[in-house]
Amino acid sequence: MKSTAPANAPVIASQATPLYAPSYPADVSRVVSILFVDQSGQLGGAEFSLLPLAVTWAARREVLLLSDGPFRTRLESLGVPVRVACDTRVSGIRKRAVHVNWLMALPGIVRQIRTIARHAESFDVLFLNTQKALVLGALGKPLHRKRIIWHLHDIMSGDHFGPLQRLIVRWLTRYAVDHVVANSHASAASLVALTGCAPEAVPVVHNGVDLNEFSHVDDADTGALRRRLGLPEDVYLAGLFGRLAPWKGQHIALAALARLPDLHLVLVGSALFGEQAYVASLREQAARLGVEDRLIFAGFRDDMPAWMKAVDVILHTSTEPEPFGRVIIEGMAAGRPVIAASAGGVTEIVRHRKNGWLVPPGNVEALADAIETLHAAPELAQRLADQALIDVSRQFSVEAYLEQMKRTIALATGVAAITNAASPASA
- Of 132 and 326, nearer to ligand UDP (C-beta) is 326
Q: How far is the CB of 299 from ligand UDP (least distance, A)?
A: 7
Segment 296-315, which members bind ligand UDP (CB under 6 A)? 300-301, 304
Among 74, 144, 243, 251, binds ligand UDP (CB under 6 A): 243
Selected from 44, 162, 199, 246, the binder of ligand UDP by CB under 6 A is 44
Return the C-alpha torsion angle 366, 368, 371, 372, nearest 10: -110
d(CA 6, CA 306): 53
DSSP character at residue 132: H
- Regarding 45 and contact with ligand UDP (CB under 6 A), the answer is yes
**Which of positions 359-398 make contact with ligand UDP (CB under 6 A)?**
none
CA distance 12 to 175: 7
CA–CA dist 293, 383 (Å, integer) = 31
Please say whether the beta carbons of 134 and 173 come within 8 A: no
Q: Give the residue with the Cβ less far from ligand UDP, 85 or 328.
A: 328
Q: Binds 87, which of ligand UDP, ligand GLC, none (CB < 5 to 8 A, cut-off by type)?
A: none
CA distances from 317 to 4, 58, 119, 356, 358 (A): 35, 38, 40, 14, 10
CB of 247 to ligand UDP, least distance (A): 9
Burial (CB count <10 Å: 0-12, 13-18, 19+), residue 63? buried
Residue 382 is classified by DSSP as H
Nearer to ligand GLC, 26 or 128 (CB): 128
**Which residue number places its CB atom closest to ligand GLC?**
45
When CB distances are held under 5 to 8 angstroms depending on the partner's kind, the choice from ligand GLC, ligand UDP, none that residue 130 binds is none
Using the rule CB under 6 A, give the single segment among 2-10, 37-45, 98-106, 250-258 that binds ligand UDP. 37-45
Which whole-number Å values give the CA distances from 131 to 39, 191, 304, 380, in the listed order?
8, 13, 26, 41
Q: Which stretch binds ligand UDP (CB under 6 A): 101-109, 194-202, 319-327, 342-350?
A: 319-327
Summarize as ranges the residues that interact with ligand GLC (CB under 6 A): 44-46, 49, 153, 183, 207, 322-326
For residue 113, give the amino acid letter: I
Report in angstroms the alpha-carbon separations of 144 from 106, 108, 423: 20, 18, 33
Minimum distance from residue 323 beta carbon to ligand GLC (Å) = 4
Instruction: Tell me: does residue 330 bind ligand UDP (CB under 6 A).
Output: yes
Shortest Å distance, C-beta 185 to ligand GLC: 13
User: With respect to ligand GLC, which residue has the nearer C-beta, 222 or 318?
Assistant: 318
Sign of the alpha-carbon torsion through 32, 200, 329, 67: positive
- Contact between 269 and ligand UDP by CB under 6 A: the answer reads yes
Instruction: State the CB neighbour count (10 A cutoff) for residue 89.
Output: 16
Q: Which of 325, 331, 344, 356 binds ligand UDP (CB under 6 A)?
A: 325
Of residues 46 and 172, the one with the C-beta less far from ligand UDP: 46
324 is an interface residue for ligand UDP by CB under 6 A:
yes
Select the residue interacting with ligand UDP from 237, 268, 339, 341 (CB under 6 A): 268
Q: Would you count residue 326 as binding ligand UDP (CB under 6 A)?
A: yes
Question: Would you mind telling me the total number of residues written for the chain in this entry?
Answer: 427
Q: How far apart are the first and last CA of the chain?
A: 23
By C-alpha distance, which of 372, 360, 336 is closest to 249?
360
Number of residues that bind ligand UDP (CB under 6 A): 18
Residues that bind ligand UDP (CB under 6 A): 43-46, 48, 241-243, 268-269, 300-301, 304, 324-327, 330
